Amino acid sequence: MKILGISCDFHDAAAAIVVDGKVIAASEEERFSRIKHDPALPRETIKFCLEQANLKPEDLDALVFYERPFLKFSRIIKSLRADSTGLKKAISHWGTHGKFEIKDRLYEFLGNTEIPYFEIDHHSSHAASAYYCSPFEEATVITLDGVGEYETATISKAKKGVLSKLNSLNMPHSIGLFYSAFTSFLGFEVNEGEYKVMGMAAYGKPVHVDKIRQLYSLLDNGLIKFDLSYFNFATPFDTHYTKKFVQLLGKPRTPESDFIIKGEDGQFTGNNYANLAASVQSCTEEIILHVVDSAIKRTGEKNVCLAGGVALNSAANGRLIRELGTNLYVHPASGDSGGALGAALLHFHKTNPRTTHKPMVSPFLGIGFTAHEVEKVLVTREVSFTHYEDEDELLDFLASNLKQGCVAGWFHGRAEWGPRSLGSRSIIADPGNPNIQQIVNSKIKFREPFRPFAPSVPEDLGKEYFELLDPTEHASQDHFASSPEHYMLAIAQVKEKYLGRFPAITHVDNTARVQLVSQAISPRFYKMLLAMRHHTGYPMLLNTSFNLRGEPIVNSPTDALRTFEKSDMDYLVMENFLISKTDD
């Protein structure tokens, strides 16, 4: 059975293809279009998925969309009944962008109107992406995001391939929109800057927790109730907060304005906006722990699967592991893009109810390029390069130069699924270099100086440097990496003896967003870590996404070259080809 899942029309459009329950390919449209968070019909991604599966449109058994557009529109219209201007805007926007005609647009693009078409509830798609990609037969499944049709969070019990919803939170109460309100208030773009709030939080102190707790109540049923006099969640054209919110918390931060203070001791601290970020992060973690703990108590199952945009909150995920002792699986593309894959998987398992689900073995589901294809681009663009026959020689050369303070672009294999670079499309450097964070932020990524980077470390050596719990029996077995740390989706404490040793990847609160690298799944990146150990004494890399500020992660060799040329990176490695800006 060959199923194409699609998400689009709001943000992070994506497509995924599932054949007989196995994930074959998945990617976001932004990687191909080069438009950040591209919401458009994912034409190029659909083409890629079909090519990767060696299928034509007529081979498909089903097209599955990740939500129900008419139900979503009905919620928007109901919320705007008292706002005639907003109502006209919504009707015009939906009509102009063809959001009612998703099936017709797909049929027209594919040139085939015979493929059966289905729609899945938004949060059901999220839940399916988490459960059916996990290694668990039985699990507590939780979805948390802004809003789908009406739902903003769900709790389900999964057993033997069947998802049974137990409870849900509906608009206008939303954990995701609560966090987005603060994202906007703190001067960042909603649906883009939420992770920046997490970065800002590390520089502040949660001194405003009591104020923020006035905005919500934790309910006995495990859900949340927000004081809606502070929020404006229902109307999509305005800010998510009200004048009362501003009266409580003060003036919103001007975008791009400073909030970091450098003290006489040379240490960086934050101003009151950083304190607000720390406070809302603390409260959000409290909310998430409340929801998950209550759900576990109801289901009796400590295997937990998470999806939805809120599931990308790596600080909260770290606390779920440490404080609740969960066996945690977080889908690596937890946002709306992941709904495309979840929709396809849910349709397959509803159609084949007695089929055992097949966990997602690897996050490398995007496009890849052969050495010949890479070389053709280099030759066509008249780029000087060195080709290494011996992979070990290349990695040794690169590690020796990273030790000297160089920074490299790393392009290898199929692209990652989700927003994190996991060693396929990465920028890498030596995390022990005290100047490298400033260099990468200002000269390569061209982004805010406070933004932290992640460390990549072999999964079998990670506990030497970070406070990691023993992996569950599911964490890395049968060539399958499933813990949040494998996907850079959990925060861990840097061990005391290494505090100050790796400044580029250590947050100001002495934590790090760790990526554990599996030798079975990422053999080349794993070897690169061992090459670093040979030259530096530690098997660790600074790993950040291969893109410039405001751009999607690179997808093709051409994208990689353009990004390399626009930045101050010293080297670019694409497969066994080395491109250099040095005089060597």
pLDDT tens-digit readout, 307-330 = 999 999 999 999 999 999 899 999
Give start-end residues of each CATH 3.90.870.20 domain in the chain: 371-580
Q: Backbone phi, then psi, for 556, in 5-degree steps?
A: -115, 165
d(CA 293, CA 300) in angstroms, rounded, equals 10
pLDDT tens by residue, 195-215: 889 888 888 899 999 999 999
- What's the pLDDT score for residue 478? 43
- What's the pLDDT score for residue 258? 76
H/E segment holding residue 488: none
- Contact residues for 101 (Cβ-Cβ < 8 A; gap 6+): none
The region, left, alpha or beta by phi > 0 then psi within -120 to 50, assigned to residue 389 is alpha
Residue 173 DSSP SS3: coil
If we measure between CA atoms, which residue out of 378, 391, 427, 395 comes closest to residue 541? 427
- What's the pLDDT score for residue 451? 66
CB atoms within 10 A of CB 196: 19
pLDDT tens by residue, 57-98: 999 999 999 999 999 989 988 887 777 777 788 888 788 888
DSSP state of 495: P
Tokens of 235: 């109307």
Least confident segment among 89-98, 104-113, 377-386, 548-557: 89-98
Q: What Å distances lie between residue 186 and 10, 175, 180, 190, CA to CA?
A: 23, 17, 10, 10
Which stretches does DSSP call E strand in 61-203? 62-65, 117-119, 138-144, 151-159, 162-170
Residue 270 DSSP SS3: strand
If we measure between CA atoms, which residue out of 273, 214, 232 comes closest to residue 448? 273
Q: What Å distances lie between residue 228 and 5, 90, 273, CA to CA?
A: 35, 22, 22
What order do you get walking across the sheet with 303-307 strand by strand?
162-170, 151-159, 138-144, 303-307, 327-330
- What's the pLDDT score for residue 260? 67
pLDDT above 70 covers a percentage of the chain that reads 93
Give me the residue label for tokens 């049923």.
221
Sign of CA dihedral 165, 330, 354, 294: negative
- What's the pLDDT score for residue 509? 85
Least confident segment among 370-374, 480-484, 556-560: 480-484
Burial 538-555 (b: 16+ CB within 10 A, else e): bbbbbbbbbbbeebbbbb
If we measure between CA atoms, which residue out of 220, 119, 213 comes closest to residue 167? 220
Question: In this model, does residue 513 exceed pLDDT 90?
Answer: yes
Question: In this model, does residue 4 exceed pLDDT 70?
Answer: yes
pLDDT tens by residue, 361-406: 899 999 999 999 999 999 999 999 999 999 999 999 999 999 999 9
- What's the pLDDT score for residue 560? 98
What order do you get walking across the sheet with 571-574 strand by strand?
386-387, 577-580, 571-574, 408-411, 425-429, 541-545, 454-458, 515-517
d(CA 392, CA 224) in angstroms, rounded, equals 53
d(CA 438, CA 286) in angstroms, rounded, equals 32
Q: Tell me how many degrees the CA angle 27-29-32 measures, rounded to the nearest 5.
A: 95
Q: For domain 151-330, say whether CATH 3.90.1150.10 is its number.
A: no
CA atoms within 13 A on the CB side of 27: 32
- What's the pLDDT score for residue 584? 47
Least confident segment among 19-28, 219-228, 249-258, 571-580: 249-258
Amino acid of residue 240: H
pLDDT above 90 covers a percentage of the chain that reads 76
pLDDT tens by residue, 213-230: 999 999 999 999 999 999
d(CA 522, CA 540) in angstroms, rounded, equals 14
Cis amide leading into 449 (omega within 30): no
pLDDT tens by residue, 407-464: 999 999 999 999 999 999 999 999 999 888 888 877 787 666 666 789 999 999 999 9
DSSP state of 420: S
Q: Where does the pLDDT of residue 470 fall: very low under 50, low under 70, confident under 90, or very high at 90 and above?
A: low
Question: In this model, does residue 476 exceed pLDDT 60?
Answer: no
If we measure between CA atoms, which residue out of 322, 268, 250 comes closest to residue 292? 322
- Residue pair 10/3 in contact (Cβ under 8 Å)? The answer is no
More confident residue, 130 or 204: 130
Residue 470 DSSP SS3: coil
H/E segment holding residue 514: none
Tell me the whole-structure pTM to 2 decimals: 0.94
Among the four given CATH numbers 3.40.50.880, 3.40.50.10420, 3.30.420.40, 3.30.870.10, the one describing domain 2-127+336-351 = 3.30.420.40
Q: Backbone phi, then psi, for 176, in 5-degree steps?
A: -65, -45
pLDDT tens by residue, 252-284: 998 888 776 655 665 656 688 989 999 999 999
Residue 139 DSSP SS3: strand
Give me the residue label for tokens 């599931």.
311
If we measure between CA atoms, which residue out of 163, 515, 148 comes closest to residue 305? 163
- Residue pair 188/450 in contact (Cβ under 8 Å)? The answer is no
Tokens of 502: 């790796």
Q: Where does the pLDDT of residue 475 fall: very low under 50, low under 70, confident under 90, or very high at 90 and above?
A: very low
CA atoms within 13 A on the CB side of 510: 12
- Residue pair 26/14 in contact (Cβ under 8 Å)? The answer is yes
Give me the chain's average pLDDT, please.
Answer: 91
Q: For domain 371-580, say whether CATH 3.90.870.20 is its number.
A: yes
Q: What is the mean pLDDT of residues 242-259?
A: 90
- The distance from CA 113 to its chain's CA centroid, rounded to whole angstroms, is 34
If we measure between CA atoms, which residue out of 403, 396, 443, 395 comes closest to residue 544? 443
Give start-end residues of each CATH 3.30.420.40 domain in the chain: 2-127+336-351, 151-330
